[in-house]
Amino acid sequence: MVKCFMAAYLNMSVSMSSLESPRSSQFTFESSVHSCHVLRCLDDQRRRDLLCDITVVVEGTSFRAHRSVLASCSKYFTHRVSSHAGPGLVITLPQEVTASGFEPLLQFAYTSKLLFSKATVMEIRHCASILGFRDLDSACFDFLLPKFFSSSRASFQRKTCCKTRCRRQSPRAELSDIDTNKDVLEDDKGVRVVSDSPVEQDVGGAPCQSSQPTNGVTGCKSETPAPPPEVNSQSDAQTDYSLRCPKSCKFQLACGKDSVSLEVCSPETALDSPVVTEEGCPLPQSRSCLPCSCSGGCKEGPTVEISGENSSHCAQTNQAGHGEVEERKGEEDGEKREADGENVDKHERVGEVEERRREAEEASGVSCLRSPLMEVSSVSCERSPGLDEGTVGTASHRCPLEEPGLGHQSPGGVEEGGCVLGGRGHHDGLDPAVSIPSQPKTEQEQGRRGQGEEERRESGWEERSSMETEVAEHLAHGLWSDLSSPPPSLLQDSLPETGPETGPETGPETGPETGPETGPETGPENIQGSSSTLNPRSMSPKLDWLNQLYLTSSTGDCPFLHGLDRGMDMGMDSGTDREMDRGTGSGDAQLPGCEGSSQSEKSPCVSSLSSGDDGDSDGFDTEGDSESCSYSQKARELQLPFSVGQILALSRNDFQLTLRHQTLTREQLDFVHDVRRRSKNRTAARRCRKRKLDCIHNLECEIDKLRTEKDHLMSERTNLIQMKLKTWQSVSELCQGVCSESALSPEQLQVLASPYCPISALISPTDPASPGLEGLLQPLASLSACSSASEPLES
């Protein structure tokens, strides 16, 4: 159940005083899931027309909604709704607002996800501007529009730097990028351009536009799904802050947050996979909305629990690898059990996606030629039984998420959806040369894989969604291809040739999963292996629209690329993990980490992008490559019957069992225990440092927050004092006037001046610090003096 709360973090704060006096202890539980859950429930209610209290009429189309939601998102609705208290409010939007422009905004209000295409983005923006939708302009449109409609292509010039240099420089570079991109990231609107469920984008907001260039691959006319902005909750705000803060980029997962790891796509898969995987789990957003995102589904989605037609279809159409999936199920059974609580969400999401797609189609009147890939992607997180590795690409096994997407490029998926089959489906058998006979994977491999995933989950790479990652990859590829790479088509053509070059590690893993359905898009990627982190082939067709984005800015300009370095590093780390296995397992295999040939060197983009801090990575990182190499070498010297990677990947029980079953010398045992202990401690040290820095960051945030609050209170106090002074002045003048005009008797004046008189209370010196009291009190004082002086006279 712990992972059921993966997206939540427990913020239990106990003040020192409370510790001293337990009776006065106060605890605060803060759930970052709650807000997302509420929003999702509201969206569900909206779609069911439950508790809706407002009808928005746009171009004759009525939209039911909750006025509170609309008012919270839109200035326009805030104004309109606030003046109507009764039920059954019907608001007709101005003519400038179109239904097609409003509906995505409505969905955005309920889902934090804006679905749009290139063709509709301007319309949506116009509507958003009219309606005063918050949090969209700077974070979404301001970034995307120039990319969309830029007329000239500026060549990317990125420095090809050595891996080490990039790694070290990256944090600063990232910071500078952030600084130069304040308009996007520092708008303080809590908006972050993130990719969300690619499915939703595809199905809902990006109906294929006939005007778009045809995407020959998918058969779907060029879609231009853009990563939707995501409205922040508190966690998002934190994420934003972390984006601005390089340290936070690293350590935002720490301090209790990283303890709740999210199920994620492994970075390597996210990078390698030719398929757009489900979003990688907004984290807090970071682990932000668990329910909203597919975070849990990325990995935990039990294969068999998928409901809906997609899964069933997948199961029907893809039986080949079912057994393997079942095997994986067994391995990840624990995770699945833990994620059971999220499965419902995932199922709902599948339904939501489908429903949104239909809604979008209905609204747009355009029948979307859905890409099977995209369609399948919606289910990817669910890990349908059909989405087995047998039909998936290499990367699929690395990331459960990807498996479905890869595996279900089957025509059935499209048929089921009633859409014209996209190009993906026809990949089946298109390139038989790419297909590699299935080979069973060893339990050890899978065990390591599971471990790697867990560690990667822990690392927090999941916070970058797969869509975002893919966009970043694509963008990065734009950089790379400009420099060195041939066009994707050429690469694809040369795919079969890349097969033999596959290392000992990628071969077995890619081969078995490269089924006939993987097609040239997945197969090549699989064959390419980890070296194709930014391989253009890894881009799904739905990202072809990015080809039209003529980037003219640095990666720091791009919210998609921003922070990708971490993911890249993660991928490389995991790759290193495998490399270790290779090195020790196969013996004669060279360790890439040792030989110094890394992805970063192969790709300048990877190099630069991966230059970020890898602090999030657990297990083997490049920093520890030297150690890994030495470990591997020593393992070979000691003739260990298993690899170093296995030592680290095994669970405690498995590790003990392995040691029991093996007859190891004392030296071997010491070595194994040393390696394991150091690795664990290394990881623990990283976590510890993350936590520490994150705590510092949180405290800084807290300080800023308190300062802001203090300033606000001070200004409010000043205003109140001024109002008070004005009131006193008015009352004083009034008293003077009344006294002078009414010719009060001394007794009456005394009464007025007495503390029992309400008027005197108004002008009594309650606030000694308030200036001018003497002046204000003077009238009554004089009155009182007069009265007391006149008393003896009269008496």
Partner DNA sequence: TGTCCATGTCATTAG
Partner DNA sequence: AACTAATGACATGGA
Shortest distance, position 276 Cβ to DNA, whole Å: 29
* Strand, helix or coil for residue 62: strand
| Residues in a beta bridge with 221 | 214
Q: Which of residues 147-166 bind DNA (CB under 7 A)?
A: 164-165
Token output for 454: 């867990």
Nearest to 567 by CA among 136, 268, 177: 268
* DSSP-derived secondary structure for 133-172: BTT-IIIIIHHHHHHHH--SPPPP------HHHHHHHHHH
Q: Which is nearer to DNA, 12 or 761 (CB)?
A: 12
> Of 111-119, 148-156, 272-280, 672-680, which part binds DNA (CB under 7 A)?
672-680
Q: List the one residue from 75, 680, 705, 707 that touches DNA (CB under 7 A).
A: 680
Q: Which is nearer to DNA, 258 or 361 (CB)?
A: 258
* Strand, helix or coil for residue 618: coil
Interface with DNA includes 15 (CB under 7 A)? no
- How far, in whole angstroms, is CA 431 from its chain's centroid? 35
Interface with DNA includes 687 (CB under 7 A)? yes
Shortest distance, position 167 Cβ to DNA, whole Å: 8
> Of 97-105, 459-467, 603-611, 615-623, which part binds DNA (CB under 7 A)?
615-623
* DSSP-derived secondary structure for 392-431: S-HHHHH-TTHHHHHHT-SHHHHHHHTSPP-TTGGGTTT-
Strands 89-92 and 54-58: parallel
Q: Which of residues 204-263 bind DNA (CB under 7 A)?
A: 247, 250, 259
Shortest distance, position 635 Cβ to DNA, whole Å: 14
Interface with DNA includes 689 (CB under 7 A)? yes
Q: Which is nearer to DNA, 416 or 614 (CB)?
A: 614
Nearest to 117 by CA among 199, 200, 209, 197: 209
Interface with DNA includes 678 (CB under 7 A)? yes
Nearest to 585 by CA among 528, 628, 525, 527: 628
Q: How far apart are the first and last CA of the chain?
A: 88
Q: Which of residues 164-203 bind DNA (CB under 7 A)?
A: 164-165, 168-169, 171
Write out the H or E segment, with its range, that includes residue 231: strand 229-231
- How far, in whole angstroms, is CA 224 from its chain's centroid? 20
Number of chain residues interacting with DNA (CB under 7 A): 34
Shortest distance, position 34 Cβ to DNA, whole Å: 24
Shortest distance, position 621 Cβ to DNA, whole Å: 5
Shortest distance, position 376 Cβ to DNA, whole Å: 35
CA dihedral 359, 409, 323, 513 (to 10 degrees): -140
Left, alpha or beta for 365 (phi > 0: left; psi -120 to 50: alpha)?
left
Q: Which of residues 367-386 bind DNA (CB under 7 A)?
A: none
Q: List the one residue from 103, 263, 354, 623 that touches DNA (CB under 7 A).
A: 623
Shortest distance, position 408 Cβ to DNA, whole Å: 35
Interface with DNA includes 450 (CB under 7 A)? no
Q: List the one residue from 478, 613, 752, 763 that touches DNA (CB under 7 A).
A: 613
Token output for 534: 């930014």
Which DSSP symbol is given to 444? H
User: Could you give the string, one character per residue 635-654, with x where binding to DNA holds by CB under 7 A and - elsewhere?
Assistant: -----------------x--
Report the b/e string of 86-114 with b at 16+ CB within 10 A.
Answer: eeeeebebeeebbbbbbbbbbbbbbbbbb
Which residues, including other chains, have CB under 8 Å from residue 648's CB and lie 6 or more apart? 451, 619, 620, 675, 676, 679, 680
Interface with DNA includes 782 (CB under 7 A)? no
Q: List the one residue from 614, 668, 750, 763 that touches DNA (CB under 7 A).
A: 614
Interface with DNA includes 681 (CB under 7 A)? yes
User: Could you give the string, one character per residue 401-420, with x where binding to DNA holds by CB under 7 A and - elsewhere?
Assistant: --------------------
> Of 16-24, 51-59, 670-678, 756-764, which part binds DNA (CB under 7 A)?
670-678
d(CA 162, CA 256): 35
Q: List the one residue from 345, 389, 621, 694 that touches DNA (CB under 7 A).
A: 621
The binding site for DNA (CB under 7 A) comprises 164-165, 168-169, 171, 247, 250, 259, 613-615, 621, 623-624, 627, 652, 655-656, 674, 676-682, 684-689, 691-692
